[in-house]
Amino acid sequence: MLCFQTPRVLALLFSLCLFPVCTATAFPAKSGLVLNMRNGRVLYAHKADLSLPPASLTKIMTLFLALDAVRAKQISLNTLVKIGKNASNVGGSSMHLKAGERVPLHSLLAGMAVASGNDAATAVAQRLANGSTKNFVKRMNRKISALGLRRTQFRNPTGLPDPGQKSTAREMALLARAYLRAHPRARDMHALPSVSHNGRALYNTNGLLGQQGIDGLKTGFTSAGYNIVITAGRDKTRLLAVVMGAASRAARDAAVEELLARGFGVRK
């Protein structure tokens, strides 16, 4: 049996190990990143600046602007929002809103956070921008610029496919961290296992809730892959992780598991 335990070879083997975990397996998604929520320190990144469609992770920005408006007293969580036909017919994931009904803003926000309702996102965007989704998207992109993010561009408030809609794992992580720092109580909404509307139960699209300390935040899917932003806490450590472009839910979940292992394994 051959033994290669010479100092030079051992040093080479050590240099090939990716901090903090040495593994020969490929990362199970196109892009990923995990950071410490407290100080923003990136603990591990894999192609974190790769441009990819954010899908329904886009709704984090829609929620951010809505809660900004509530804090500025431009609207109340109890304000009844009238649902238009274009909102009820937007397609994709839905909280099954009906044209003409009036729904409290807090219910629409929960429908976005939990069930990823495109109809809810559209209704909220139109209400906040005087009926103009286009003007709301301008606000989204102004907010992105104010946050110093340069590789993200939004084209709608839902995340439905659009050639110009793009982001990166790094920038989605920074956006999500800014969102939760500005509105820390929003995490309670994202952690709800389900909500209901008109007697219909709407279950959280994040099937990882409650596992490994995970208590949020948002999923997304397009033909480009499965995305997720998660928050997780163990002891006094809180992490935020982003996976983008996984080939399946199973691959996405495996990527989350790897990011959490790397993140919680770092000495703070």
Q: Are 232 and 34 in contact (CB under 8 A)?
A: no
Question: What angle in degrees, to the nearest 10, is found between the helix axes of 105-115 and 118-128?
Answer: 140
**Residues with catalytic function:** 56, 59, 116
- Topology (CATH level 3) of domain 24-265: Beta-lactamase (3.40.710)
pLDDT of residue 237: 95
Task: Give me the residue label for tokens 């982003």.
Answer: 242
Q: Where are the domains of the chain?
A: 24-265
Which amino acid type is present at position 199?
G
Which residues, at least 6 apart from 102, have a Cβ–Cβ distance to it below 8 Å?
80, 81, 82, 83
Q: Are 160 and 59 in contact (CB under 8 A)?
A: no
DSSP 132: -
Give backbone dihedrals phi and psi of 166, rounded to 5 degrees, phi first. -150, 160
Coil, strand or helix at 106: helix
The CA-based angle 21-51-133, given to 5 degrees, is 130
Alpha carbon separation from 236 to 52, 188, 233 (Å, rounded): 32, 18, 7
pLDDT of residue 25: 66
pLDDT in tens, the chain (268 residues): 334 344 443 343 333 333 343 344 699 999 999 999 999 999 999 999 999 999 999 999 999 999 999 999 999 999 999 999 999 999 999 999 999 999 999 999 999 999 999 999 999 999 999 999 999 999 999 999 999 999 999 999 999 999 999 999 999 999 999 999 999 999 999 999 999 999 999 999 999 999 999 999 999 999 889 999 999 999 899 999 999 999 999 999 999 999 999 999 975 5
Largest CA distance in the chain: 78
pLDDT of residue 24: 42
pLDDT of residue 23: 42
